Chain A
Amino acid sequence: MSAKKETFFQSLWNFFCSLKLTIITLILLAVTSIIGTVIQQNRPAAEYIQQYGESTYRFFLSFQLTDMYHSWWFLALLVLFCINLTACSIKRFPHVWKSVRQPLLVADETQFRLSANADELLVDAPPARVRDQVADFLGGRFAAPTLTEREGRLHFYAQKAPWARLGVYVTHLSILVIFIGAIIGNLWGFKAYVNIAEGTEESRVWPQNGGAPIELGFAVRCDDFEVTYYDGSNRPKEFMSILDIVDQGQEVVSDRKIIVNDPITYKGITFYQSSYGPAGDPTVQMRVKPSSGGEPLEISARQGEQVALPGGYSFAVTGFTPSYNQFGPAVQMHLNTPEGKHGNPFIVLQNFPDFDARRGGEFAFALLGFSQPQFTGLQVKKDPGVWVVWLGCTLLVLGSLVAFFLSHRRIWVSIEEQGGRSRVRLCGSAHRNQPAFELYFDQFKKDLRQQLAPSAEGGRDGGK
């Protein structure tokens, strides 16, 4: 190994450890993220060409701007971000661990001289008495102190929340954990959808980004699907599927109701209610009453089906709507004569059962009811990494709360005898949020002065 090579690695290491890199990466991530909120992502090519023109679209493609959050350069930024926070943590952690495990019990001269938070005073009392006062004051106001005697001087050390220093490392780690969870989900999970008609079952689902269907290894059956609307409107209030799960011939889940915001999970695969639609033609129940008299008939007919009536007549339902203007469910139908001649189409409304008699045809029709088979649209997801992501999120919140609201604060006090009086020096530091600590320390030193020598004249007024 040549010295030159080592310098290269050294400078590379320093580059990855630098906080400037962190700030630049964060700002770059923020700025580049805007692109994907302005250019719609993952749309068909034609849409981009129509909106931006062909040459701009080609420019987009060369930088993967139509799927920028998965582009090589955005992923590279994220990787850089991760390397940076790992390197920063590795570089700083041992030092921090040491300051937590083996605190500096004795402050040296330079610390008292150079610290931004320092004070010095002479007290008209012997060190032995001052010692007890200082110990009481520190213990009562701040934290229980440790006393060290060295070279005839008394050194107090007191600290608060030393483990607060670990909060930032937990936070950094949590971000890596979230990324790991996301990667696990991408590698071993899938996102797909499936439409299941009422009364049928499916054992395959279709990936959202295309590709071959995925075999679930079990089947999902849709027993029933229902939509309810807010009164007097077409706004859906709720849509709901009743599902069964059939695994190796056994019905392992029966009649499970799922709605939007309430999915079902089986064997790590989750099914979300996401859409619905009509599946196949509706079936209508009709009551048919011959105008010549006689017993009315109740007949059920599928849309499009020719249904025979007495006397060689037949009818067919050609259209159905659950809501005809404001009048509710209606069918469009026509009657055929025994000679096979098409009659004119007419409308029969469910809410007005006697209305059709006024038409004066050979038969009077009434619509009794209908059933419209629906399919339920389910989103299907498997994400084995999601628990890792939630773990990371929990650590992120806990870690950042510790990092922001707790700071490792330390105060040193030294007492030495000086011509029958006591020379008291103190200094303090906080590992973060110095401005707040300055305010705290200003008050602390004033109160300590008050405590030790109400009229003492300080050697270093103001501490600065």
Chain B
Amino acid sequence: MTSSMLFNATTIAYFASMVLFVVFIAGRSKAVALIATLAAWAGFAANTGAIALRWIESKNMGYGHAPLSNLYESVVFFAWSILLIYLLFDLKYKQRSVGAFVLPFAFLGMTWAQLRLNDAIEPLVPALQSNWLTYHVITCFIGYAAFAMACGVSIMYLVKVGKEEKLPENSPAGGILGMFPSAKILDDLNYKAIMVGFPMLTLGIITGAAWANYAWGTYWSWDPKETWSLIVWFIYAAFLHARFTRGWVGRKAAYLSIFGFAATLFCYLGVNLVLSGLHSYGG
């Protein structure tokens, strides 16, 4: 078995899970939701195994670095992180329909990585040979994944509230909305996910700064990637402050959360693809 076979299995499992969650929302069968969740777990297991195997393969090639060093590896790790956050939220809140709005992020990531990105295992440049790489990447990606989750939930919220407003007052939401959690719960999940993501992003920025200081002697140099991570941090800090004290719940919070995730994606991908700087070898 090779890691690329397992990555294929991961993509297929995420696709199956995503489709089944949509079927569940349309058909309201609890059994389908259960199978969808099991598929998500199976995909997560395959994803975990694939990353581990890739690590071993890299060791066998004589490099032996954690598979977190190029765009391909980071995208499959991003998919893994999204599933980690999603499954933890699923265990705690058991809102099955959320899967239909979160799994697509993981599936799209895996598909993009497998179709378009270079999956060769390459040696590390000296600058990346550090344990800090692992801490930095893991904290950042768990943060990103939590923001992806928040974004998915926010889209659900807007769909739900938008549809409900068109219905006559007090009629129970029918159709595909029946399986959606209540607006209150969706709003709360949005906040909860950001509450996980924000400290992780903070840790990611700090581990990045600590590493830069250790390797180059500057903890902050306004490199485009650093600056964009700070921009994302500012946006979510604004989200949290707006919410804490001005009662920015509901629709506005959902929009801000989607906007924040767009900035996160730009920080992750846009900076590498469009701008130049220290992290360009990461792409």
Contact = CB atoms under 8 A, between A and B. Distances in A.
B216 A274 contact: yes
A341 to B, nearest CB: 49
B214 A435 contact: no
A34 B232 CA distance: 11
Contact of B126 (A29, A30, A237, A436): A237
Given A19-B241, A23-B242, A435-B191, A397 B215 contact: no
Contacts of A36: 222, 227
A261 B195 contact: no
A436 B188 contact: yes
Given A27-B238, A29-B234, A389 B219 contact: yes
B123 to A, nearest CB: 5
B94 to A, nearest CB: 13
Given A272-B217, A396-B202, A30 B231 contact: yes
Given A19-B245, A235-B123, A37 B271 contact: yes
Interface in A212-258: 230-231, 235-239
Interface stretch (B5-13, B45-53, B97-105, B203-211): B203-211
Nearest to B215: A261
Contact of B202 (A30, A260, A397): A397
B117 interface: no
B126 A236 contact: yes
Given A261-B129, A435-B191, A26 B227 contact: no
A89 interface: no
B276 interface: yes
Contact of A259 (B126, B216, B263, B271): B126
Nearest to B270: A37
Contact of B227 (A33, A237, A260): A33
Interface string A392-407: 0100110011001100
B81 to A, nearest CB: 19
A380 B129 CA distance: 20
A30 B188 contact: no
A270 interface: yes
Given A261-B129, A390-B210, A400 B198 contact: yes
A41 interface: yes
Contacts of B125: 235-236
Contacts of B215: 260-261, 263, 272
A38 interface: yes
A124 interface: no
A381 B215 CA distance: 11
Contacts of B227: 33-34, 36-37, 69
B202 A381 contact: no
B249 interface: yes
Nearest to B277: A37
A274 B126 CA distance: 10
A260 B235 contact: no
A270 B123 CA distance: 28
A86 B245 CA distance: 17
B237 A26 contact: yes
B249 A386 contact: no
Interface string A143-186: 00000000000000000000000000000000000000010000
A376 to B, nearest CB: 13
B73 interface: no
A300 interface: no
Contacts of A38: 275
A356 interface: no
Given A23-B241, A393-B209, A435-B191, A379 B199 contact: no
Contacts, number: 120
Nearest to A228: B126
A287 interface: no
A400 B202 contact: yes
B130 interface: yes
Nearest to B271: A37
A390 B214 CA distance: 12
A230 B124 CA distance: 10
Nearest to B211: A261
How many of chain A's residues touch chain B, expressed as a range? Answer: 35 or more
Q: Is the interface of B mostly helix, strand, loop or mixed?
A: helix
Interface in B232-280: 234-235, 237-238, 240-242, 244-246, 249, 263, 271, 275-276
A202 interface: no
B184 interface: yes
Interface string A8-32: 0000000000011011001101100
Interface in A396-432: 396-397, 400-401, 404-405, 432
A36 B228 CA distance: 10
A260 B192 CA distance: 40
Contacts of A191: 217-218
B217 A37 contact: no
Interface in A368-399: 379-381, 383, 386, 389-390, 393, 396-397
A37 B228 contact: yes
B234 A30 contact: yes
A438 interface: yes
A33 B126 contact: no
A386 B214 contact: no
B120 interface: no
B283 interface: no
B127 interface: yes
A27 B242 CA distance: 11
A49 to B, nearest CB: 19
A3 interface: no
A239 B219 CA distance: 22
A396 B206 contact: yes
A397 B238 CA distance: 17
B214 to A, nearest CB: 7
A439 interface: yes
Given A37-B271, A191-B218, A26 B191 contact: no
15 contacts: A19-B246, A23-B242, A26-B241, A37-B271, A236-B125, A237-B123, A238-B129, A272-B217, A386-B213, A390-B210, A393-B209, A404-B195, A432-B244, A435-B184, A436-B191
Q: Which 4 A-B pairs have the closest CB atoms?
A: A381-B217, A30-B234, A260-B126, A37-B224
Given A23-B241, A69-B227, A260-B215, 13 more contacts: A33-B227, A36-B227, A191-B217, A231-B62, A235-B125, A236-B126, A261-B130, A270-B217, A383-B217, A405-B195, A435-B188, A435-B249, A438-B184
Interface of A: 19-20, 22-23, 26-27, 29-30, 33-34, 36-38, 40-41, 69, 182, 191, 230-231, 235-239, 259-261, 263, 270, 272, 274, 379-381, 383, 386, 389-390, 393, 396-397, 400-401, 404-405, 432-433, 435-436, 438-439
